[in-house]
Structure formats: C-alpha cells, structure tokens
Amino acid sequence: MVSEISPQISPQISPQSWPRPASGMPSEIPSDCLTATPTLSVRGLTKRFQQKIAVNDIDLDLFPGEIYGLIGPNGAGKTTLMEMMVGAAMPTLGEIWIDGQPFRSDQNSSRLQRCIGFLPDDYPLYDDLSVWQYLDYFARLYGVRDRRDRLYDILELVQLTSKRHSLTTTLSRGMKQRLGLARTIIHQPSLLVLDEPVSGLDPVARMEFRNIIRTLQQGGMTILISSHVLSDLADFCTTIGIMELGHLVESAPLEELYQRLSRQQIFIVSLGDLADLEAALASQACVISQTRVSEREIRVEFEGDAGGAGELLRSLMAANLPLCQFNHTREDLETIFLKHLDHKQVS
C-alpha cells in the first residue's frame, strides 16, 4: 500500500484535538455527524473471483466519529470488503466515495488515498529498524511536516515513548500491534480501517488498544474494525454490521440490535412464597414467560427496556412482595451473533 500513497498529508485531525481515553459504555454518534457528509460511502460493491462471489452488492455509509464493527464467520467476505474500500483490491462492480468524492476517478484516487489508514491482519515490521526509525520512515513517505513533534505525539498516544529506541523485533505482540496502528495514523487519516487488530492479544493489551480507538473516535476519526472478539466491539462500537456469504445481512446501531435481537431476562429472588410472586408476574403484560430456577428464584423472559424493568420492579414492590434481588440482564453481542447464525442455518 505504501507505493500507492502520494507523499502529502491530509490535515483532518490534529494531535491537540485528541482527548484522553474515555471509559464506560460505547459512545453514541454525535447528532451533527449524522447530517454531515459520510466519510465513506459504498453502493453496490461487489467482488467476484471466477465463479465465487466474495462480496455481494453492499451499500454502506460511515459518518465522522462512527466506530463500525464488522463481524461474521471466516470466509464471510469481511477482509475482501475492507480491501476494496481502501483501494487494495479492485471491485468487480460498485462505487466508493471518500468524503463525498468518487474514490476511483483518476483525478481523485491519489488524493483520497491519503485520507485512509489501513491496518491489515498481517502487516510488515522491519527487523533492523527501531520504533522511532520505523515511524519516521513512514512519516517521510507521507510527507509529514514537523515529523519530530508528530512522532512524539503518536508515541505518547500508543504508549510507546519509552520504547522509541528499541528494535521492533524486541517488542511484545501488543506493542507491535500498537506500533502498527501508529504507522497507520501517522498521516492523520479521516478513515481508519482495521482488520482483526486485537487477534492474539492478551486482555491487558486489548484494553490498551480499545482506549486508543476511543481516543481516535473522540478526535472525529471514522473507524471500521473487524474482529472475532465480540465483547471488545460491544464495548466501543456505535454500529454493528453482520456479514454472511458476502452479504451484509444486518447493519444497525448497537443499541438497536440489542432492542430487536437480544432476549431480556430478569432474575428475581423472593423471601416469601414464590406462588405470590408468580401470580403477580402473570398479570404483567411485559412478562413473556417465567421459570422457577430454585426454591426462591424465578427467571422472567421480559419484553421491554430498562425503564420497563424499573416499572415492573415498582409494581412488585407496591404489592408488598418481599423481594431481595432483582437483576435485569440481556443477551450479549456474541449470543446475538450465534443465534443469528443458527437461525440462518435452520432456515
């Protein structure tokens, strides 16, 4: 990919605009971003290999500040889709726009390539270079001005400042992944595409990587990431897409997927007679079913959101039932994905 990139810089995000990493639930897409020009748009994107269709007629828009998680089984077409989006593979059919400009027109391709950062699953590290030399090499290729300041900013972001004089071969796998990410964003792209960036990392390294991704999002970067570690995607993605056999079968905000596809459950423990609790639950329209888990606990299949669960709790308390536990849970992203696959296989 280096040979395809013209040595200039795209002034999209300055290091000073990067706040510190946030924690907690995934960030929502800012409302003003939804009315902005999409960072990436694809229409009818298709890739055929002889008789096999790897990617089939995909439409997708990604907006500034959005983190889009792409999931699917091996062979679903995720990597092929990403490679077409960044210009590493030619589509058979379809169109791509970057920041509202057609990506494949001759006059735009070179300029728009500088708006993209791509970290593939297998990327090169040069064994005879130090961390600083490696990043400085790519900064020179991109024509980055004020390289020294830029490299220090990037090294601080990926927490490799203390390793700047170390050879790349001496780094741990997690450090190598962060170095690869640093190389990918050295030119300040508006679109960052990551293919399995946390594969093989331990929990601490994955947490460090998640924090960096949150920081980049808060700076306005649009991020497309594929991963089989669905718990990580659920932690920071705003939107999720599910691919199967080349088709994008689901694409929606994460919370919408939870509301549509995640089964809600409530575990209730009572100090009194469970028959009284069962009778009270039977009168609630939001209760789909109930099952005794033990002599004191009932599992409730629930239709509603957290507010509805709160209303149910208030009604049970108003009935003077001696409750000692009330735990509202929902199926996680991995369970939703596996159920989706099972449903497709059965149908």
End residue of a domain, out of 230, 259, 288: 259
Same domain? For 278 and 197 the reply is: no
Instruction: Name the residue range of residue 294's domain.
Output: 263-330
Residue 28 has pLDDT above 70, yes or no: no
Same domain? For 179 and 320 the reply is: no
Residue 17 has pLDDT above 60, yes or no: no
Q: What is the pLDDT of residue 337?
A: 87
Q: What is the pLDDT of residue 114?
A: 86
Q: How confident is the model over 74-93, as pLDDT tens digits?
A: 999 999 999 999 988 999 99
- Rounded average pLDDT over 26-30: 42
Average pLDDT, the chain: 85
Same domain? For 271 and 254 the reply is: no
Consecutive H or E run containing 306 = helix 306-318
Distance CA 103, CA 111 (A): 9
Residue 286 has pLDDT above 80, yes or no: yes
Q: Are 12 and 190 in contact (CB under 8 A)?
A: yes
Same domain? For 29 and 68 the reply is: yes
**Where is pLDDT greater, at 107 or 165?**
165
Residue 7 has pLDDT above 80, yes or no: no
Q: How confident is the model over 163-204, as pLDDT tens digits?
A: 999 999 999 999 999 999 999 999 999 999 999 998 888 899
Domain containing 250 — which CATH number?
A: 3.40.50.300
Q: Are 112 and 61 in contact (CB under 8 A)?
A: no
Q: What is the pLDDT of residue 65?
A: 93
Q: What is the pLDDT of residue 323?
A: 94
In a domain, 246, yes or no: yes
Residue 25 has pLDDT above 60, yes or no: no
End residue of a domain, out of 202, 231, 259: 259
In a domain, 341, yes or no: no
- Rounded average pLDDT over 22-44: 61
**Where is pLDDT greater, at 24 or 171?**
171
Q: What is the pLDDT of residue 105?
A: 55
In a domain, 139, yes or no: yes
Q: What is the pLDDT of residue 50?
A: 87
Distance CA 50, CA 53 (A): 8
Residue 26 has pLDDT above 90, yes or no: no
Residue 21 has pLDDT above 50, yes or no: no
End residue of a domain, out of 244, 259, 274: 259
Residue 102 has pLDDT above 80, yes or no: yes
Same domain? For 299 and 225 the reply is: no
Residue 30 has pLDDT above 50, yes or no: no
In a domain, 84, yes or no: yes
Same domain? For 230 and 271 the reply is: no
Number of domains present in the structure of the chain? 2
The dihedral over CA atoms of 252, 113, 220, 217, expressed in degrees to the nearest 10, equals 60
Same domain? For 202 and 305 the reply is: no
Residue 22 has pLDDT above 70, yes or no: no
Enter the pTM of the model: 0.79
Distance CA 227, CA 232 (A): 8
- Looking at residue 76, the DSSP 8-state letter turns out to be S
Same domain? For 195 and 237 the reply is: yes
Same domain? For 163 and 309 the reply is: no
Among the listed ranges 151-160, 240-249, 293-302, 327-336, which one has the minimum average pLDDT value? 327-336
Same domain? For 289 and 188 the reply is: no
**High-pLDDT (> 90) share of the chain, %:** 63
In a domain, 347, yes or no: no
Domain containing 292 — which CATH number?
A: 3.30.70.980
In a domain, 209, yes or no: yes
Q: From its phi and psi, is residue 197 left (phi > 0), alpha (psi between -120 and 50) or beta?
A: alpha
Contacts 24+ apart (CB under 8 A), 314-322: 315/280, 315/284, 316/268, 316/277, 316/280, 316/281, 319/280, 321/270, 321/272, 321/276, 321/277, 321/280, 322/270, 322/271, 322/272
In a domain, 343, yes or no: no
Q: What is the pLDDT of residue 11?
A: 32
